[in-house]
Structure 1
């Protein structure tokens, strides 16, 4: 074990952290993608179909919340350093799609 902080735990810890964090982040991305999918596939029968509109709104809110949670985890300095910047793309993209669908509505 090294007393120098620049050498201690550089490769082994990052590789382990990558695997440990990749699984929950991938699950959060999959959950957010499912909510985005449901928000995009629900079609109201007409302007009177409040239940379908409520389902779209709920799916969008849940997708934004899940993407936001994944984004917060990814923004932690130790996670971002180990995982890389491309892990920021899925929650931003899914959150943006859900926000656009929420604003556009049915």
Structure 2
């Protein structure tokens, strides 16, 4: 998804846990990109991580969700911590990200559903 966005000449900011992986992905894109390491489970860290892209790239135009935890195991397997991590990152972390960047997204010229 990020590659497709970059091919449309969008300014790209990548966020996630693994800075080295983010840097590698950023240099592979056809446009300048910014890599920011952040824990999406930490709202204060997300607010701080939003500053460099805003300062370096300007107003955000999209927020692709590239965070996620995927664990393949039988549901009956007693892996409660794993299931909790999936819910925390995939649901709660995505909500933290959306709330942090809501002002940027509302500033877009697209019609708002709210």
TM-score, scaled to structure 2 = 0.37
Question: Which of the pair is proportionally richer in helix?
Answer: 1
Question: Which of the pair is proportionally richer in strand?
Answer: 2
TM-score, scaled to structure 1 = 0.39
- Higher-Rg member (1/2): 1
